[in-house]
């Protein structure tokens, strides 16, 4: 649905994004994750035909963003970070206007407006001026205008920016629901949002894609799974260190009654809890703790974006 190849954007001597490539399949929800200034918004502006790339190609549902911008815009709904709403319009009037601008047929506009009002839970504020709404409701109105023409692709630039925790939860729930029938790419620098909504993650830093995959894949690739074991036996650390499935066995502390606590990393970064348990049974060791821990997405993000 979205295909990006060798995309580069320069502003004078400054390079915002540098030769990035990725694809997003139909029906995927993908989080574009990165620190402020990483290149997330620039990428989205190119995908929405707001600006053109310096080099490379991008297409939406087979339509090139440079050669066929009107076709691309028919395919997408776009919510920029600061949605330019008309504050002197009420919600219904604004959404009706948006439907007209988007080319929704006159006999279908009322139904389209009613649908997005229902989908975005705007029923309580339909006749209020947009300027009198809370930021959370204004964000919902911005999302409604992005949905008014029933696009195949949604591009959302930091959709929860500036919202309180309850408002964030509501917007994330809405993104999850939309992701069941549409392709969604949304940018954020809040890690919990990515884990809550995204099938796949692209991490961008200093204009480069530095990692991509599911949240679980990224966490497992970073440093693998560490198994913490508290065990009692003869030369436990030495025998674990020489086991073929173990890369490293590090003593953390001595526990009471002759037990020792170790951190064990597998030879291929996988979870070796079962192998370790089988070895303990074979060696007749006493085990009081066996716990596997994988690096968090926060750990992965920090590792990839701090040089």
Task: Say if residue 37 is in the same domain as residue 92.
Answer: yes
Q: How confident is the model at residue 224 (pLDDT cuts 50, 70, 90)?
A: low
Mark residue 224 as left, alpha or beta (left: phi above 0; alpha: psi -120 to 50; beta: remaining). left
Higher pLDDT pick, 3 / 174: 3
Q: Where does a domain end: 170, 187, 213?
A: 213
Distance separating alpha carbons of residues 279 and 290, to the nearest angstrom: 13
Residues 53, 42: Cα–Cα separation, whole Å: 9
Residue 29 lies in a domain: yes
Q: Which whole-number Å values give the CA distances from 282 to 28, 127, 275, 276, in the listed order?
A: 46, 73, 11, 10
The residue behind tokens 């990839």 is: 304
Query: Do 239 and 197 reside in the same domain of the chain?
Result: no
Q: Which of 213, 232, 265 is the last residue of a domain?
A: 213
β-strand pairing of 55-60 with 260-266: unpaired
User: With bands split at pLDDT 50, 70 and 90, how would you rate the model's confidence at 223?
Assistant: low
CATH number of the domain bearing residue 69:
3.40.50.300
For the segment 51-69, the average pLDDT, to the nearest whole number, is 94
Alpha carbons 162 and 294: distance in angstroms, whole number: 31
Domain stops at, among 213, 248, 274: 213
pLDDT in tens, 136-168: 899 899 999 999 999 999 999 988 877 788 888
Domain at 229, CATH number: 3.30.70.260
Whether 22 shows a pLDDT value over 90: the answer reads: yes
The answer to whether residue 307 is domain-embedded is no
138 and 84, same structural domain? Answer: yes
Residues 23, 28, 33, 37: is their CA dihedral positive or negative? positive
Interval 79-92: pLDDT, tens:
998 888 999 999 99
Domain co-membership, 185 together with 36: yes
Q: Which residue has the higher pLDDT, 148 or 194?
A: 148
In a domain, 302, yes or no: no
Q: What is the mean pLDDT of the segment spanning 49-75? A: 94
Whether pLDDT at 36 is above 90: no
Same domain assignment for residues 157 and 191: yes
CB 141 within 8 A of CB 122: yes
What is the CB neighbour count within 10 angstroms for residue 87? Answer: 12
Write the DSSP string, 121-175: T-GGGTTSBGGGS-HHHHHHHHHHHHHTT--SEEEEESTTTT--HHHHHHHHHHH
Residue in this structure with the two tokens 């502003």, named with its chain if needed: 11
Per-residue model confidence as pLDDT tens digits over 235-281: 898 999 889 998 888 888 887 788 999 988 888 767 788 999 999 99
| Structure confidence at residue 46 as a pLDDT band (50, 70, 90) | very high
Classify residue 112: in a domain, yes or no.
yes
Could you tell me if 19 and 140 lie in one domain?
Answer: yes
Residue 28 lies in a domain: yes
Share of the chain above pLDDT 90, in %: 57
pTM metric for this prediction: 0.77
Answer yes or no: is pLDDT of 292 > 90. no
Q: What are phi and psi of 297, to 5 degrees?
A: -65, -30
Check whether residue 150 and residue 45 sit in a common domain: yes
Residues 116, 255, single domain; the answer is no
Residue 222 has pLDDT above 70, yes or no: no
> What's the confidence (pLDDT) of residue 141?
94
Q: Assign 101 a pLDDT band (cuts: 50, 70, 90).
A: very high
Average pLDDT over the chain, rounded to an integer: 90
Write out the residue range of the structural domain in which residue 201 sits.
Answer: 2-213
Does 249 lie in the same domain as 206? no
């Amino acid at each position: 649905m979205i295909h990006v190849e060798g995309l580069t954007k320069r502003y004078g001597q400054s390079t915002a994004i540098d030769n990035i490539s990725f694809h997003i399949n139909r029906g995927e929800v993908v989080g574009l994750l990165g620190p402020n200034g990483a290149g997330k918004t620039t990428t989205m502006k190119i995908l929405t035909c707001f600006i053109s790339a310096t080099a490379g190609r991008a297409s939406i549902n087979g339509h090139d963003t440079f050669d066929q911008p009107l076709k691309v815009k028919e395919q997408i709904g776009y919510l920029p970070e600061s949605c330019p709403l008309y504050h002197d319009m009420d919600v219904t009037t604004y959404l009706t206007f948006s439907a007209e601008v988007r080319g929704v047929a006159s006999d279908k506009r009322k139904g389209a407006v009613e649908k997005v009002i229902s989908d975005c839970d705007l029923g309580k504020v339909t006749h209020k001026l947009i300027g009198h709404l809370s930021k959370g409701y204004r964000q919902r109105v911005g999302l409604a205008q992005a949905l008014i023409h029933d696009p195949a692709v949604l591009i959302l630039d930091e959709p929860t920016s500036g919202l309180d925790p309850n408002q964030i939860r509501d917007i994330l729930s809405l993104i999850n629901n939309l992701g069941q029938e549409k392709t969604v790419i949304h940018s954020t620098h809040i890690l919990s949002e990515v884990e809550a909504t995204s099938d796949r993650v692209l991490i961008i830093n200093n204009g480069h894609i530095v990692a991509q995959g599911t949240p679980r894949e990224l966490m497992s690739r970073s440093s693998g799974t560490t198994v913490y074991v508290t065990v009692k036996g003869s030369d436990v650390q030495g025998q674990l260190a020489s086991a073929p499935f173990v890369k490293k066995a590090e003593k953390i502390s001595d526990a009471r009654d002759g037990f020792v606590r170790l951190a064990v990393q597998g030879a291929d970064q996988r979870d070796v809890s079962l192998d370790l348990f089988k070895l303990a049974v074979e060696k007749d060791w006493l085990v009081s703790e066996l716990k596997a821990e994988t690096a968090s997405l926060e750990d992965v993000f920090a590792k990839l974006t701090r040089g």
